[in-house]
Structure 1
Amino acid sequence: MSNTPSPASASSSIDATQAGDGMRLRDRRHVSNWLLSICVMLLGMIALGGATRLTGSGLSIMEWRPLTGIIPPLTHAQWEHEFALYQGIPQYKILHDGFGLAGFQQIFWLEWIHRFWGRLMGINLLGGLAFFAFRKALTRGLVIRLLVFFVLGGLQGAIGWFMVASGFRPDSTAVEPVRLVLHLGMALLLYVAILWTALSVRFPEPEVLPDMAGARRTRTFLHAALGLVGLTIVAGGFTAGTHAGFVFNTFPLMDGHLIPEGYAKLSPFWYNWIANIPAVQFDHRLLATVTALTIGLTVLTGMKTKLTTRAHAAVALLGWAVLIQYALGVTTLLLVVPVWAGTIHQTFAAILLGVGVFAMHTLRGARRGRS
């Protein structure tokens, strides 16, 4: 009788094989796909956040109820109650006075969907964690990391309310730009952390890179590029928060000037970077251009280097992604920030960041100290 295993049994054996951390290969695929689904939901959340900001919907829900807020108004009396609360804030009196209950319901539903989507992400994370932990498909370290992500997700909800509450001030019709950037930054931090975790679960061991010296050069440029992507997104957050995109709608010059007039009119000087509209928009343009050039250098270096197929594909994809994002930014500016363009531009910034993280993950083997 032959002892040679059948193809089916061999496949089962491969699926059951455990890596050094104890996770089975089959479980890795399932856990990675689940974490990637959360990343996709985070992209949806970023898109919804952009839409709520551009339509002025973010202040339409005046109460923060993490649990009971999942139920929208169900009766006319409840709708009248919510509308009465909204009529008491400056945004209604200055921007929407007289637009009626029907108009209020339109902006309410967009903000409600935004908050509901956040709750769905929490359910997805906690439910998946419980399911895979019950199946013993997770290591202890991964369970702890995922619990930290859940806590940070809850904190993100609190930061969201902290941001919204700033729009209730007597002299305000929008949220504070600093709080908006804090809220966006936390969302991107979670996105990057969960994406990196998903990739590490799927690909636990770094690939062997044929040209280590060239891979390290590529990785160094990529580090700089990702740092610039982050700074550009922060600058974009201040551009959105100060509504700087609605002026200087020419490109590449700003109303005929390379550097706009009034760039340094505020004191202290650094305050121009977060509150002075000409400076805020110029900084975003400048950072976007430097970022695109740095990614271009990264792509050229990576394409000339002997890397793995996956690493080459990731670097090339990063080049295409930054071209798309730059074109989206110019389009949004020239069209004076229509809702659809502004929303896509904000969302694709996160996609560009994600592609950069993927490229960095493929080059893990080039870290200093590795042979």
Structure 2
Amino acid sequence: MAQKRSIFEEVGTQKTAAPGPQGGMIDAGRRGARTGIRIWLLVLFALVVAMIAVGGLTRLTDSGLSITEWKPVTGALPPMDAATWEAEFEKYRAIPEYQLQNAGMSLAEFKAIYWWEWGHRQLGRVVGLVWALGFAGFLVTRKIPPGWTGRLLWIGALGGAQGAIGWWMVSSGLEGDRLDVASYRLATHLGLAFVILGFIAWYVFQLGLPEREVLQRRRGRERKLWGMGTGLLHFTFLQILIGALVAGIDAGRNYVDWPLMGGGFFPPFPFELDPVWRNFFENDGLVQFIHRMTGYLLMLFGIGAWIVSRKSGNKAVRFGFNAVLAMLLIQMVLGIVTVMHGSPWQIAIVHQLGAVATWVLILRARFTAGYPPAQSVRG
């Protein structure tokens, strides 16, 4: 039975709680462990950067051919006794690098280069294991967000291909009269490492936002800067490949004057190899010249993108391209210093890590231009 109301009671004094905000259809489905997957990808990112650094040091110390076999499983164990060490050393003494360059090397000297290559391969195994355990864990627990299974599997596939390409690269230096691995294969190996790093970084950026926010931000895409960011990315990748060619033939250790090369604008004898096309990949003077010119053009392109970004009304977009321009300038100075000092490993590895920083900052600037964050009218 209804209770009587007081004549002094105001209508609507009994308030009901207002319903909370309801998510849209985008958030209605299984969200997945976006934060957990992002942390896992960040660990993979750090490991891949370490792989690039250790791989660079392996190359700079001429250690890459010290292990002459590819044993993905049993190769995880290093030599455990004197007899095994001697057997490994004997295999190394059978290849051209030892016979033509390191004849008379002691076992202790061999061990020094062996550990670099073993460490590089071991780190590759760790990367593969971290990916496999993480992917399997998220898959079994059904924590992968919709649409992400293929993307995460793609990273694993690229990692597997990288291992095979690594051996394809090493095998090129085990026969014939080569003292090092083929520079073309080295460029392929390094290029794929940067591709893997790029995908991981891009996925980390995307997973840092809820799916609905990604769609909302995409509506405000700054198309011109998005396009210029894409161009910068491709141009930088080309420069990284050319840099790998420079490293592959030790071109950075010749022509240590700057801004000239051997006293002139062009290096002497730029087309001395036959057929002519070989000079663009194997002539140390011409390859270093191309690397220098590409670096200058990349810097000009970066300045152009930065000028365009000044017109953006979004503070985050402007900051992203500020960082890119600053890193391009630092990287160019590092390149000049590296060449003028004859590419010692201590400076050369910093230059290689500078390429990693440049690559990631360009990816970040491109992502920010493609998915600019909301800001107040005051900016």
TM-score calculated relative to the size of structure 2 = 0.87
> 2:366 matched to 1:360?
yes
1:125 to 110, 128, 131: 131
> 2:173 matched to 1:167?
yes
Structure 2 equivalent of residue 319 of structure 1 = 325
* Residues 180, 98 of structure 1: alpha-carbon distance in 2 compared, 3 angstrom cutoff: same
Structure 1 equivalent of residue 377 of structure 2 = none
In structure 2, list runs of 5 or more residues that go unmatched: 1-13, 373-379
CA contact (8 A) 2:30 2:146 kept: no
Structure 1 equivalent of residue 3 of structure 2 = none
1:256 to 254, 260, 263: 263
> 2:253 matched to 1:246?
yes
* Residues 208, 261 of structure 1: alpha-carbon distance in 2 compared, 3 angstrom cutoff: same
> 2:45 matched to 1:63?
no
1:106 to 84, 91, 112: 112
Corresponding letter in the other structure for 1:190: I
CA contact (8 A) 1:303 1:316 kept: no
Q: Deviations over 1:228-269 (max 9, x none)?
A: 111111111111111111111011111221122222334544
Corresponding letter in the other structure for 2:364: F
Q: Secondary structure at the match of 2:68?
A: coil
CA distance in 2, matches of 1:302, 1:165: 46
What does 1:220-299 correspond to in 2, within 5 Å? 220-299=227-306
> 2:41 matched to 1:35?
yes
Deviation at residue 283 of structure 1 after TM alignment: 0.4
Give the percent of matched residue pairs that are identical in Structure 1 and Structure 2. Answer: 33
Corresponding letter in the other structure for 2:35: R
* Residues 231, 32 of structure 1: alpha-carbon distance in 2 compared, 3 angstrom cutoff: same
Structure 1 equivalent of residue 195 of structure 2 = 189
CA distance in 1, matches of 2:156, 2:303: 36
Corresponding letter in the other structure for 1:129: F
Query: If you compute each CA radius of gyration, which structure gives the higher value, 1 or 2?
Result: 2
Q: Deviations over 1:172-223 (max 9, x none)?
A: 11001111111111111111122212222223405648986xx322223222
1:156 to 162, 166, 169: 162
* Residues 363, 273 of structure 1: alpha-carbon distance in 2 compared, 3 angstrom cutoff: same
Corresponding letter in the other structure for 2:80: L
CA contact (8 A) 1:218 1:298 kept: yes
* Residues 147, 298 of structure 1: alpha-carbon distance in 2 compared, 3 angstrom cutoff: same
Structure 1 equivalent of residue 357 of structure 2 = 351
Q: Deviations over 1:107-128 (max 9, x none)?
A: 1111111001111111111111
CA distance in 1, matches of 2:318, 2:257: 36
Corresponding letter in the other structure for 1:339: W
> 2:91 matched to 1:85?
yes
CA distance in 2, matches of 1:277, 1:39: 33
CA distance in 2, matches of 1:36, 1:3: 45
Corresponding letter in the other structure for 1:88: A
CA distance in 1, matches of 2:83, 2:122: 22
CA distance in 1, matches of 2:28, 2:165: 35
CA contact (8 A) 2:66 2:113 kept: yes
Deviation at residue 17 of structure 1 after TM alignment: 9.6
Structure 2 equivalent of residue 201 of structure 1 = 207
> 2:217 matched to 1:218?
no
CA contact (8 A) 1:211 1:305 kept: no
Q: Deviations over 1:26-82 (max 9, x none)?
A: x22221121122112111111111100110100001110001111111111111111
* Residues 325, 21 of structure 1: alpha-carbon distance in 2 compared, 3 angstrom cutoff: farther
Q: Secondary structure at the match of 2:188?
A: helix
CA contact (8 A) 2:249 2:282 kept: yes
TM-score calculated relative to the size of structure 1 = 0.88
CA contact (8 A) 1:314 1:362 kept: yes
> 2:81 matched to 1:75?
yes
* Residues 134, 209 of structure 1: alpha-carbon distance in 2 compared, 3 angstrom cutoff: closer
Q: Secondary structure at the match of 2:148?
A: helix
CA distance in 2, matches of 1:175, 1:110: 16
Larger deviation, residues 185-194 vs 138-147: 138-147
Corresponding letter in the other structure for 1:240: A
In structure 1, list runs of 5 or more residues that go unmatched: 367-371
Deviation at residue 144 of structure 1 after TM alignment: 2.2
Aligned residues: 355
